[in-house]
Amino acid sequence: MSDMGERQKAEAAYSPGLEGVIAGESALCQVDEGESGLRYRGYAIGDLAERATFEEVAYLLLFGKLPTRKELQDFSAQLSAQWPLPGPVEAFIGIVPPRAHPMDILRTGVSLLGMADPEAAEHSHEANVRKAVRLLAQIPLVIAGAYRLATGKRPIQPRPDLGFAANLLYLLTDRQGDDAAKAMARVLDVSLTLYAEHEFNASTFAARVAASTLTDLHAAITAAIGTLKGPLHGGANEAVAAMLLEIKSRDRAEGWVREALAQKRRVMGFGHRVLRKGDARSGIIQRQAEALSRICVDTRWYDIATIIDRIMQQEKGLHPNLDFYTAVAYLLMGIPRDLYTPVFVCSRITGWCAHVIEQQDHNRLIRPRAFYTGPPPQAYVPIDQRT
């Protein structure tokens, strides 16, 4: 084929940002705007969010099936047994610069966990699953330990009588025990389930590219965390919360959003790169946020959000994504705003690890090509003849 023919073929195949390109196979997650909706290993996200716990979902992603009661009890016991952080990681938390970004702390913390892992030199499927369980247990401790130290809060340990979401809420907010805390923990549990996996998004794909080189699991997860730190991928729920806090009251909401649209400023929490017609997860978390608002007798954030939602659909035809109403729920819980993305990692670590394991179980090095846009062939000119 001629050079021109090759170029035309490349142009036809090229999709900026790999949009719409099928880049691999996965049995973990189906993202679809049709009847299938979002499914984890075949299970509808609505069923999992409403009827399962996050621990069941984590088990499903890592082990390939929903657990029996005995398997779930054993899994929860494994998580509890892995809570203590290795000495080098504890020491690192103690010397973190006060102004360090939480995602930088988490990225370095995971890297240190990899060096301190008892199976650091083992890369089998079974070893990787055990490493994933350790990361699931220990990442909340890294996040909470660094946050509490930086804010002068006393260190606390997870409680064996609390589930994963309830412990995460306790570690970050000190909330426990009362009816409001239990309701918050349940909504947090639902949000963790909704965030656990979403196919070949940027951070997951980064993890799979790294994993395809047969690097270790912790290195691949570190790549994912670094990717998630980018504002075009992570941090949307933080930005939504900042927007709600800026608006302050429902009386200002409509004027604020119309002014933002008139000035062509981006209103956060709307649209999705893949889900153009709406995100099934958004409706689930919206119902949870509304119910929690009523339990907390504080509907201001939810009221503001519904006004913004209505106007954005009317004026722009855009639907809220998962991050939009999640911000309402997290504001009610009192989770520190700069920890929203690290909390996402507490959930997505399950999907990331499952993808790394799946990639290495059926590995082929991921090595795409680039569409060349540089100059045509050039003749080399000796240095003393250049002008």
Catalytic residues: 272, 323
Helix (H, G, I), strand (E, B) or coil at 358: helix
The two three-digit tokens of residue 222, written as one number: 């570190």
One-letter amino acid of 186: R
CA distances (Å), origin 174, targets 148, 248, 353: 10, 25, 29
Nearest to 333 by CA among 179, 181, 189, 155: 181
Instruction: Name residues whose C-beta falls within 8 Å of residue 131's C-beta, 6 or more positions apart in sequence.
Output: 117, 119, 217, 218, 353
Residues counted in the chain: 387
Which DSSP category does 44 fall into? E
DSSP string, 198-265: -SS-HHHHHHHHHHTTT--HHHHHHHHHHHHTSTTTS-HHHHHHHHHHHH-SHHHHHHHHHHHHHTTP
Residue 39 parent element (H or E):
strand 38-40
* CB 228, CB 103: distance < 8 Å: yes
Place of tokens 């309830």: 166
